[in-house]
Every structure is written in C-alpha cells, then in structure tokens.
Amino acid sequence: MYNHVDTDPLVGTLFDGRYLINFLIDRGGMGNIYNANDVKRGNIVALKMLRPEFSDDPTIVRRFQRETEAVSCLKHKNICQLFDVGITRDGIHYFTMEFLEGRALDKILKQRHVLPPDLAIHYMVEVAAGLCDAHNHGIIHRDMKPANIFIVQTANTPEFIKILDFGVAKIDEDVEALHQKLTNAGSTLGTPYYMSPEQISGGEVDGRTDIYALGVILWECLFGAPPFEGSTLIDIFKATMQEKLPKLPPALRASKQWKRLYKILDKALQKDRDKRYHSMQAFLRDLSQLDTKSSSQNAQPILMETPPSLPVFHYLHAFTPARIAIAGAILCAVVALSVAIAVTLMPQTTTQEQSAFHTYKFFSDPPVNIILGEKDLGTTPLSVELDEKIPFSVVFREPSGSEYKILVTDSPKDVTGFAVNLHPEHTDRPMLRIETNPPDADITVDGAPYPLKTPCNIAASLLQMTVEIKLDGYRTETLQVITNGGEMKLHSNLFRP
C-alpha cells in the first residue's frame, strides 16, 4: 500500500476548484503526488503536480508535459492510465491518473532481496506487454527501473503490473525532433544501473534500450543485484560498457530451464544493441515461454528457486576466491540434491521445432482491439509477431462490440500488415494519407510506383489496395489497405531489419 509521507499544507484543501487533497503520497524530484477526490467525477485519483519553484523552468516543464503526452495515447492494462491534465491560475502544472493500491518493485526488492523465478518472470512478461503497446505507438520509455514498476495488490484480485513515469520517454513525431538532452536535476535520461551502453555514450536510443533495462531488472530480481555494479557512477558506467555478463552459478547450470532463462538474459543484455532482441515483442515471446503464471500452455517451469539466503548474489558479487571454493562446494552439494529431486518429478517433455514467426502490423480508423481466436492482441496501431499458419482470421473489434473480420492468406504474397477504415466518410475525392517515421519512403500502389515520397496523399477511390512502403535501412512493409471508399490516414513507424 502507499505510505502517507507526512503532512502537507495542501492536505484538506480543494485544489484547482475540483480535487480535494486527502494526503501526500510521495515527494519526487520535480513534483509531489497526492491522493485526491475528484469532486466532479466522484472518484479517487492520484494527482501529480509540478512544484511551484520549477514552474518557470522550461526544461522541467517540458519533461512534465512529455509524460502526459506519452501516456495520453496509451490504453494498455499494464500502463497507468491518465485522466486529466491542467494548469492552475497560479501557473502550476498538474495531471491526474488512476490511484493504485500496492507497492513498487524497488520497495519489494528492498524487503525480499530476490523474487521466486516464476514470479520475477511473470512480472517482466506483464511489463514487456505494456511496453510493446508503447513501442507500437512510437514511445520509448528510456527510464525503466524497479521504482517505475508498480505491483497492484487489492483484495480478491490477482496481482498485476502497472508501468509508471514516462517523463523521459522518447516520442517519435513528424512535427518535432525530440533529441534535446534533459540534464537538470531530476531529469536524467535513465537511471545508472539500468541505462544501456548507447544511453551512457549519448547515442540515439530505440526500443532495444527498454529491452536492455528489463534484462537488468530481471537479473536483479533473480540474483539480488544488477549484473554490473560499481562504487561510483563512473565505475557503474565502465562496468556496463566493458564487463561481461556474469556466468550462472555452478549450482544452476544443470537446469535446462535456467539455461534457457540465462540465454534470454544474455541476449537482452548485449552491449551491441544490434545483437539484442530486435523488438520488445520478440523478447516477450521468448520470456512468455517460461511464464508459468500466465495462461500460456507452452510455459516451462523454472524448477529451482533462488535460495532465500542469497548464495547466488554472494557468488556473483561478494565472494573472494577462497570463499568461492568453500561455499561453492557446499552449495553444489545441497542444490544438486534439490535439482535431482525436481528433475525426477518434472514431467517429461519433448522439444518441438518452433514455427516461424512473422511480424504483422494492424491499423484502423478509429482505433479498435485486434482479436485472434480468443486472445486480445492489443489496440491499433499494433505490431505483433505471430506464428499462425495461413490462412487465419483476425477480428477488428470496436468498443460497441461491432466486428470486422479479415482473412489472412498468401495472396497477395508477403503482406505484412492490414489497415481498415471502419467508418468511412465518403467525399467526391477520398484520399489515403500515408505518413512514415522516418519520412521520405518510396510508395508502390498495386504494383505501380507512386511519384511522391511519404508523407503523401493517394486517391482512395478503390475500396481496397495493396501499398508497399520501402526505405533504405528499414524493413519493407506491404500493407493491405481497405479504405471502403472513404478518407483515411495511415501512420507507420518503420522498423530496422
């Protein structure tokens, strides 16, 4: 649960004529968060306001505004939802979001040091699912850390994750180049232990930066400390840039599932981002195979938990060579017996060849949920990796329950996405607006090269057309666009190979 921090002069007052302040939840680097009653809507909210002394600092105000911009378009269940944004007559910026009951992951780790592997994996699966939605909307978090992962704990409801604080998010926009560096107090682009090598070196970041951070967090949940440590900021950065990932302790190397997990961690934590998972969806797919707490039928259990006395942590970070020899022998003897018993009890499984995964994009106007079988894949615009055998059906489901079904076939060949105008507005000359990030992509319509590069308008008189989007250095996209004869806008964030 939230702890009431201390008394505050705003407690008991009506803020901006609408929010009755109940208590102070937390004091942050730039602002305070309060529990408040929204007297207009009649619900309890978390109210985050920028402290008055920062209201005249354009850099800090911009960061505060970036958080609202990032979260306003995200509706995923694992992302804390934004309600309202405002500024008082005195110039105080604020926004309200859903009030959450539970604890942040950093508080849990401070108390428990490590988590059972199945729980740690499940938490990261939910975080990755939320970040997939953010990345699909062109938003990179850039500051993932345990403090920004909130475990919601309420009576009679299973625990679930909410991602917090998109204050340093990178937002892909055509109208604004968001490359400025926020270096003032409280506005660093990431937190040292969880920063990727490209962040440390000041390079450009993309979704693989968030993948790296989740790898560090998962490692810390399993072993009690980040994989790369140091006594100073320079030491942490040096270790991150130069040191190899610690090996699994000998006691864990006999477990096939621990080996699978280590392989995932090793790939997520590569120094060279081109060697990491190419997308959050790919990271999520592999990690989900080990998530025994989800509904996945293919999840493989991690049979041995990290021992509560933290020998794994000490093996990696605290043992001297002499202690390793003594403690290692004792640990191996004790754990080997546990592994032997667990393996004996483990159901025998056979390794099946994995199906080939293909990345599909789904767009719609207006945004709707994409349903595959009984599974809700998320809200458009959406990018998802599927291993379904062609042909298969995908449903565009509106909040009203109305559905539009499409059949994915092998004709035309190499289709990578679908866009549907569900409520077309018919005009004399309907146009399809195509925008890409980055721009200047070549367009082909039904096999014929189009004379203009993106952004551009294409006559949408045909009910359906095949549009190919091609830009050097990025994946070529072939989209089946169903305009239904109406005006439509399509914006695609292009992916690297």
Catalytic residues: 143
- Between strands 102-104 and 139-140, the pairing is unpaired
The DSSP string of 385-454 is EE-PPSSEEEEEE-TTS-EEEEEE-SSSTT--EEEEESS----SS-EEEEEEESS--EEEETTEE-SSPS
**Angstrom distance (rounded) from CA 224 to CA 460:** 57
290: its two tokens: 């080990």
Taking alpha carbons only, the member of 66, 115, 136, 309 closest to residue 219 is: 115
Give the SS3 label for residue 122: helix
| Cα end-to-end distance, the chain, whole Å | 43
Neighbours of 382 (CB within 10 A): 22
C-alpha angle 194/198/202, rounded to 5°?
A: 105
Cβ atoms 483, 465 nearer than 8 A? yes
**Beta strands in 51-198, from DSSP E residues, in sequence order:** 82-87, 93-98, 102-104, 139-140, 149-154, 157-163, 170-171
Establish whether the linkage from the previous residue to 367 is cis, with ω within 30° of 0: no
Taking alpha carbons only, the member of 124, 134, 429, 160 closest to residue 289 is: 124
314 CB contacts (<8 Å, ≥6 apart)?
A: 323, 327
**Angstrom distance (rounded) from CA 293 to CA 119:** 7
**Angstrom distance (rounded) from CA 398 to CA 360:** 20
Cβ atoms 194, 205 nearer than 8 A? no
162: its two tokens: 């909410």
